[in-house]
A and B are shown apart, each in its own frame.
Chain A
């Protein structure tokens, strides 16, 4: 299977080259955020405050890592279910977020917002937290430290394996692949 190497930040031009079904290895800086961090970012926007960072051309990884063992920089760090962030994602895409890494399907509203903002959605293997931890080379908490595992972390990854699930044209691997393997019942 051909593997596409990509580096962050990810420009629109690079994003548009990616196609649903591409296997990628991501290297560079990505940012972690999940439920509580998203909620807090939206509350900031509602109050007219700035976000803790500029998301232009950046990727958000939906993860709440385990604590690091002594001598390690982070614990197991696999993806969490993306759908819970659907309600918040378009706001961030409109602020030039390049894409998201998680697992599971996205809402129609998110997919439409992705298409109008040329964003990409990647999935990685859920539950593979121990394996993905190995790809993380540095970790720094940049916002909401009180949220613990849900704080926003700036992490540097190397050859982080993922699959392009929804591309900038709205092609969705969850739909296209499933059709190929749906069978008529023999009983």
Chain B
């Protein structure tokens, strides 16, 4: 049976936290370049240029793109034939986050209790979603999630009769209210179906799907196209200061649901939509 030592996991997670916060993935940079090319607003063009320039500065100075280096969300896919040697997987993942945030000079933004609000000092705990799969691989996906955009996210339990039209209306409403505060152009992750928490988790993971890659289901791809066009017709634009690029991409995921329900979750990410993935 394959074995992975916990130190290896700690080191990988630490590196991934730093990498995600310092370098933006190619799909996001390309998306912003395209937006700059199509932007009609003078303010919008200048803002997009500033954003692209900021990526270069962050890369060259090896500092975070944005000061909100997020609360870490992880999607861990754990092969059932794999053995974790030397300690607990959960503790290793959390220790990796603490190491990465310390060594990378990343901001520690996590408070221990939502009411008492004392900073934990090392950006842990991360929110970790596990999935057990066949095989002997460990796949770790890391999304450091900034809260300017997280705060604009929303969930609604629609009725089956609300259907496609209800989903469209709720997503567009969330985009319209949220995008000026969420550092537009945003990426919109949508989860439809399942239960309340399933919809929310799908919406979160949808943010990590590369820009321009559609849902393979034809009617969902059409929904993604509609939501993208309708969002960009709102006129909100980069940083909410007007323009035709409010949303860079809409990624929708679906799951079977109950006969009585139509849960919809909308998770918003700013244009610094950070996601890195490694397989050990």
Contacts and interface: CB of A to CB of B under 8 A. Distances in A.
**Is the pairing of A and B real?**
yes
Contact of A104 (B57, B65, B180, B226): B180
Interface stretch (A77-85, A88-96, A137-145): A77-85
Contacts of B42: 1
A92 to B, nearest CB: 20
Given A66-B64, A181-B40, A149 B239 contact: no
Given A69-B105, A76-B63, A127 B271 contact: yes
Contacts of A186: 229
Interface string A1-43: 1000000000000000000010100000000000010000000
B244 A65 contact: no
Interface stretch (A46-54, A109-117, A152-160, A170-178): A170-178
Interface residues on B, range: 35 or more
Interface in A46-71: 63-69
Interface residues of A, number: 52
B8 interface: no
A131 B106 CA distance: 16
B237 A130 contact: no
Interface in B118-153: 119, 148, 151
Interface string A99-127: 00001110000000000000000010111
Interface of A: 1, 21, 23, 36, 63-69, 72, 75-78, 80-81, 83-84, 103-105, 123, 125-131, 133-134, 148-149, 161, 163, 165, 173-174, 176-187
Contacts, number: 166
Contacts of A173: 43, 241-242
B97 to A, nearest CB: 15
A124 B234 CA distance: 21
Contacts of B51: 125, 127-128
A185 B58 contact: no
A134 B57 contact: yes
B57 A123 contact: no
Interface of B: 40-43, 46-47, 50-51, 53-54, 57-58, 61-69, 105-109, 117, 119, 148, 151, 180-183, 226, 229-230, 232-237, 239-244, 270-272
Given A130-B54, A130-B58, A131-B53, A63 B236 contact: no
B79 to A, nearest CB: 35
Contacts of A64: 67-68, 107, 109
Q: Which of B41, B63, B229, B270 has the most CB of A within 10 A?
A: B63
B41 A181 contact: yes
Given A177-B242, A180-B235, A66 B181 contact: no
A76 B67 contact: yes
29 contacts: A64-B109, A65-B67, A66-B67, A69-B62, A69-B63, A75-B105, A76-B107, A78-B68, A81-B148, A103-B181, A103-B239, A123-B239, A127-B183, A127-B271, A128-B66, A130-B57, A130-B64, A130-B65, A131-B54, A161-B50, A174-B240, A174-B241, A178-B236, A178-B240, A181-B41, A181-B237, A181-B243, A181-B244, A185-B230
User: Most chain-A CB neighbours within 10 Å: which of B68, B180, B270?
Assistant: B68
